[in-house]
Structure 1
Amino acid sequence: MKQRATLLALVVTGSLLFAAGCTGEAEPTRAEKPLQGASAVPSPTPDVRGELVAALQRSQQAAHRFVVRGGLPEGQKISGTGAFDPQKRRFETTVSISGGKYPSAGSRIVIGTESYGRSSAKGHWVHVDLKRIEPDHPFLRFDWADPTGLKKFTSSIVSVDRTGPRTYTGRFDPDSKGATPFLPVGAPTIVSIGTPLSPFVITTDDQGWINSIKVDLSPSKGPKLTITTTMSDHGKTLKINTPAGAVEAAESTYRN
């Protein structure tokens, strides 16, 4: 059988910019042996994958903060933080990529249809009207349905086992359909093509919110990549405001 070719390409996009009650008292009864030949009713098999998917969807639909740390192809490393409130349509992220040939950094704030980006901590903010952006714009497009890649990651899960009260392990398909990056969760910058099914470890807190998502990727060249996304403050009010002093983007920005 021919082995699939494996390719991991790095893409740094401009987006960096019940108990039932009973009445009466029953007479106590003695325990009786089961009748010969009687078969026990099997317990229903737990739907572990459905359980994990429900937890991921619940976290994706609630306001939360996230932190991303890990390795990227070609010896680069990624570090990022952000917050996402899908109900109020507010999103912010700051991501830096270090090492390798192309280090970069950037921040982005999106409120409704207004996007603000800057390329460094000391740079000025630039405002872009998302209503004017074409859906296939390679850098400035923004998908409110899945800005962190969590939704797409959830759909990519192939198998799951529960390995602890709050721990799930399994495999997912990291292929980027349509060459759209969805990894790392929280800072999608990797386009993965032809990569085999890869392992993940996901933990939840005592309230069922997603705590962390750790994935391992195996490029055809170079060492294994481990990337971890941690999530917190689920359902809490997040302060994501319009940055002061933003300047308007040049008209050429809107041309794809």
Structure 2
Amino acid sequence: MRGKRAAAVCLVALVALSGCTDKSDKSAENGAVASAAPTVEASDPATAFKAAVTKTNQATMTFTIDADLGTLGSQKASGAADPKAKATGYHSDLTLSGRSVTIDAILVGSDLYLKVPGVTSGDRWAHMDMTKVKSLSKLGLDASGNPTNLGTLDAEVVAVTRTAPGAYSGTLDRTKNPVVAGAGGVSEALKSVPFEATVNPQGYVTSLVIHTPPVGSGPASTSTSKFADFAQPIAIERPDSAEVQQAPDELYQALQ
């Protein structure tokens, strides 16, 4: 029973990574290295913003997450992603319903390594074969393994307004996000969720703020994600085999 309780706590914590889902923003100086010429914004705000989302999703990056989950708690996380290598690594400190949970995760290809107190032994990583799991969404991750869910943003966009050069606001249909939908996010309120975002002159999304309204018994929440170090070399490697154990069956069962 202890293993099942630990697995349940782990799952709740990981799903919260979506934002119910500090490093300074160095995107301007790093963007200058990746692209010498500024990107000209398209006349249509939605087209311009979606193009920036696509470009950002294709680049290596670092990210931070700062989420205020209302009465449920809060989350602070940081990490890096390399889409071409299908690799993501991050650390998260989550406070949920008065309980603190620290999560370290490394995803490389179909291998997920987790370090979560109560689930893994001591300082060891728990390995999961993601080919045995139906969807990363139950772990609070998009298809690329990014906990910011930037990979699903294009599909969620409902309306976009350009408020200033490189600044956008609009609404998202969060029911189109597998993480939110998988958590029972079918409320009409989730079909028009306000957001603000900034895009640097090189065409990368540098910040995304999502204001999720109260849904059911869940409180309103605000999730702020920041992105930087675009197209820079990033090394995300598997843990040493001596530090790895296989994930317990309870964790696999909870993800099916």
Q: Which residue number in structure 2 is paired with residue 235 of structure 1?
A: 231
Q: What are the superposed Cα offsets for residues 180-200 of structure 1, whole Å, 9 maximum, x if unpaired?
A: 338xxxxxx976331241211
Q: Which residue number in structure 2 is paired with residue 173 of structure 1?
A: 173
Q: Which residue number in structure 2 is paired with residue 56 of structure 1?
A: 53
Q: What are the superposed Cα offsets for residues 25-46 of structure 1, whole Å, 9 maximum, x if unpaired?
A: xxxxxxxxxxxxxxxxxxxx92
CA displacement at 1:53 relative to structure 2: 0.3
Gaps of 5+ in 2: 1-10, 18-41
- Does 2:227 align with 1:226? no
Q: How does 1:107-146 map to 2 (within 5 A)?
A: 107-120=104-117, 123-131=123-131, 133-136=132-135, 144-145=143-144
Equivalent of residue 207 in structure 1, options 202, 215, 219: 202
Aligned identity (percent) is 23
Gaps of 5+ in 1: 1-9, 17-44, 183-188
Q: Which residue number in structure 2 is paired with residue 246 of structure 1?
A: 243
- Root-mean-square deviation (Å): 3.2
| 2:236 alignment partner, SS class | coil
Query: Residue 213 of structure 1 aligns to which amino acid in structure 2?
Result: L
Equivalent of residue 85 in structure 2, options 71, 88, 94: 88
- Measured in 2, the distance between the counterparts of 1:154 and 1:176 equals 10
CA displacement at 1:135 relative to structure 2: 1.7
Larger radius of gyration: 1
Q: What are the superposed Cα offsets for residues 86-132 of structure 1, whole Å, 9 maximum, x if unpaired?
A: 1012111211211523432211101122221101596311223334x
- Measured in 2, the distance between the counterparts of 1:90 and 1:124 equals 20
Q: Which one has a larger percent helix, Structure 1 or Structure 2?
A: 2
Q: How does 1:18-97 map to 2 (within 5 A)?
A: 46-97=43-94
TM-score (norm 2): 0.70
| 2:13 alignment partner, SS class | coil
CA displacement at 1:161 relative to structure 2: 0.8
Note if contact 1:134-1:141 (Cα within 8 Å) is conserved in structure 2: no
Distance 1:169 1:219, change over 3 A: same
Aligned residues: 211
CA displacement at 1:246 relative to structure 2: 2.3
Note if contact 2:123-2:243 (Cα within 8 Å) is conserved in structure 1: no
Runs of 4+ with deviation above 3 angstroms = 13-16, 136-148, 189-193, 220-224, 253-256
Note if contact 2:159-2:171 (Cα within 8 Å) is conserved in structure 1: yes
Q: Which residue number in structure 1 is paired with residue 23 of structure 2?
A: none
| 1:175 alignment partner, SS class | helix
- Measured in 2, the distance between the counterparts of 1:141 and 1:78 equals 13
Q: Which residue number in structure 2 is paired with residue 151 of structure 1?
A: 151
